[in-house]
Amino acid sequence: MTPVLRAERLFRFFHAGDEEVLALCGVSLQVEAGELVAVTGPSGAGKSTLLSCLAGIDEPDGGSVWVAGRRLSRQPEAVRATLRARHIGVLYQHSNLLEHLTIGRNIRLAQQLRQRRAPHDGVDALLATVGLDGRGSALPGDLSGGESVRAGLAVALANDPAMLIADEPTGELDEITERLVLRLLVARAAAGTAVLVASHSRAVTAAASRVVHLRDGRAA
């Protein structure tokens, strides 16, 4: 089966003063439809850097990323943004919501950016899925931390992505909300989406079909 996401020998360097930090050192990874892959590793191991490169938000300095059979890396920003809008849902711990738009408008925007005629879940249905019925007219600033992550998940799912990438989505959640978010990620994978989650949570690694451990920018 062709993987939904394929990354080959990714390298990423940063400069901190005179020092060079090697955040990713030859990481290869693939995620197939229906898999839930957890990325773990100590703080500073390179998890967020890896996910940013896989989502086309950041450009690796070496290696390549392919999503849904298309090359995502070494592409102009506009091409990466289009591929992301069409194929990838991204959920960050600190929100993927535009602060000046209501939750409903955030969801609709993600749907419009996809520019496809495939039927979408309606805004109300997406809000119900994440347990935020009737909150479409709220602004992101009016939501609690847990509600904000769930609204972010509704936005990440709004384009019906083949690939869902979530960076520490349950990091600051209470146990009940963590379980809800995890259940949604598992259900999404069971429905055929390729799901990649960076997380320190044991509940997430226990629910994953595969765990990739990162240490010092290398995958074990």
Ligand X SMILES: Nc1ncnc2c1ncn2[C@@H]1O[C@H](COP(=O)(O)OP(=O)(O)OP(=O)(O)O)[C@@H](O)[C@H]1O
* Shortest distance in whole angstroms from residue 40 CB to ligand X: 9
Please say which residue, 49 or 106, places its beta carbon nearer to ligand X.
49
**What percent of the chain is helix, strand and coil (3-state, nearest 5)?**
35, 30, 40
Of the candidate spans 2-10, 41-49, 107-115, 174-182, the one that interacts with ligand X by CB under 6 A turns out to be 41-49
* Shortest distance in whole angstroms from residue 24 CB to ligand X: 8
Question: Does 16 help bind ligand X (rule: CB under 6 A)?
Answer: yes
* Shortest distance in whole angstroms from residue 8 CB to ligand X: 19
Q: How far apart are the first and last CA of the chain?
A: 23
Backbone angles phi, psi at 186, to 5 degrees: -65, -45
Please say which residue, 105 or 218, places its beta carbon nearer to ligand X.
218
Q: Which of 7, 36, 40, 47 binds ligand X (CB under 6 A)?
A: 47
Q: Which of 3, 7, 27, 49 binds ligand X (CB under 6 A)?
A: 49
Question: Does 169 help bind ligand X (rule: CB under 6 A)?
Answer: no
Question: Does 63 help bind ligand X (rule: CB under 6 A)?
Answer: no
User: ∠ CA(46), CA(50), CA(167), 5° rounding?
Assistant: 90
Q: Which of 2, 9, 14, 144 binds ligand X (CB under 6 A)?
A: 14
State how far the alpha carbon of 45 is from the alpha carbons of 41, 200, 214, in Å.
6, 12, 6
Contacts of 59 (CB under 8 A, 6+ apart): 53, 73, 74
Amino acid at 52: S
b/e map 102-125, b = 16+ CB within 10 Å: bbbbbbbebbeebeeeeebbebee
CA atoms within 13 A on the CB side of 114: 23
Q: Which of 38, 45, 90, 158 binds ligand X (CB under 6 A)?
A: 45
Please say which residue, 53 or 132, places its beta carbon nearer to ligand X.
53
Tokens encoding 8: 């080959």
Please say which residue, 47 or 84, places its beta carbon nearer to ligand X.
47
Please say which residue, 21 or 187, places its beta carbon nearer to ligand X.
21
Contact residues for ligand X (CB under 6 A)?
14, 16, 21, 23, 41, 43-49
